[in-house]
């Protein structure tokens, strides 16, 4: 697992966290326990910090970066699913959120807990998805409220990936 120091700062990886052999974790990055970073991901905390909570999965081909400005950190909460081939830049995802495959999230965007961004969406700079909302499209717009089953699915997705990651670590 390529953990790359940037300047004097090395990534910090929690216990039971799976990092695929061809993923790159660079600089000021902290990843919580029981999380997973899948094949072909780049998480680059060079000019600011990235924090990823526990039981969160960053799926194949995703890139996470930061902005060099004061509020340029990328913060991702616990039990978050970030689908394949996403791009996250200087944004915040709170606990129990779901980002569909191929989505882009720009600087200053915020996704509150128990919310979802649909596959292929573009969440533009400074947009705010409130708890319980589903947003879709390019640019993403409010689509509807999530059902209780859909909110439950968000946590189940994170749990499923934690189990899968443990199988890879055997």
Per-residue DSSP letters for 14-58?
-TT-EE-TT-EEEEEEEE-TT-EE-TT-EEEEEEEEEEE-TT-EE
Percent of the chain with pLDDT over 70: 99
Rg (alpha carbons) of the chain, rounded to whole number? 15
Give the list of residues 6+ apart from residue 23 with CB closer than 8 angstroms, or none.
1, 2, 37, 38, 39, 40, 41, 42, 43
- Which domain covers residue 155, as residue numbers? 3-169
- On whether the CB atoms of residues 94 and 113 are closer than 8 A, the answer is yes
The total domain count for the chain is: 1
Which alpha helices (DSSP H) does 18-84 contain, by range?
Answer: none
Q: What is the pLDDT of residues 102-146, one digit of tens each?
A: 999 999 999 999 999 999 999 999 999 999 999 999 999 999 999
Can you give the pLDDT at residue 111?
99
What is the CATH classification number for the domain harbouring 28?
Answer: 2.160.10.10
The DSSP call for residue 87 is E
The pLDDT of residue 1 is above 80 = no
Dmax (CA) of the chain: 46
Instruction: Judge if pTM exceeds 0.85.
Output: yes
3-state secondary structure of 17: coil
Q: What is the pLDDT of residues 149-160, one digit of tens each?
A: 999 999 999 999
Element (DSSP H or E) covering residue 167: helix 148-168
The pLDDT of residue 2 is above 90 = no
């Amino acid at each position: 697992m390529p953990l790359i120091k940037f300047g004097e700062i090395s990534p910090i990886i929690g216990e039971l966290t799976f990092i695929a052999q061809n993923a790159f974790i660079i600089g000021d990055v902290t990843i919580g326990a029981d999380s997973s970073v899948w094949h072909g991901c780049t998480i680059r905390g060079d000019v600011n910090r990235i924090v990823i909570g526990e039981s969160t999965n960053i799926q194949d081909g995703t890139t996470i970066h930061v902005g060099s400005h004061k509020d340029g950190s990328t913060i991702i909460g616990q039990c978050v699913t970030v689908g394949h081939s996403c791009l996250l830049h200087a944004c915040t995802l709170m606990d129990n959120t779901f980002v569909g495959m191929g989505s882009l999230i720009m600087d200053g965007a915020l996704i509150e807990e128990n919310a979802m961004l649909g596959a292929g969406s573009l969440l533009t700079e400074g947009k705010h998805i409130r708890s319980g909302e589903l947003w879709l499209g390019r640019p993403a717009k409010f689509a509807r409220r999530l059902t209780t089953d859909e909110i439950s699915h968000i946590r189940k997705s994170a749990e499923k990936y934690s189990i899968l990651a443990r199988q890879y670590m055997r």
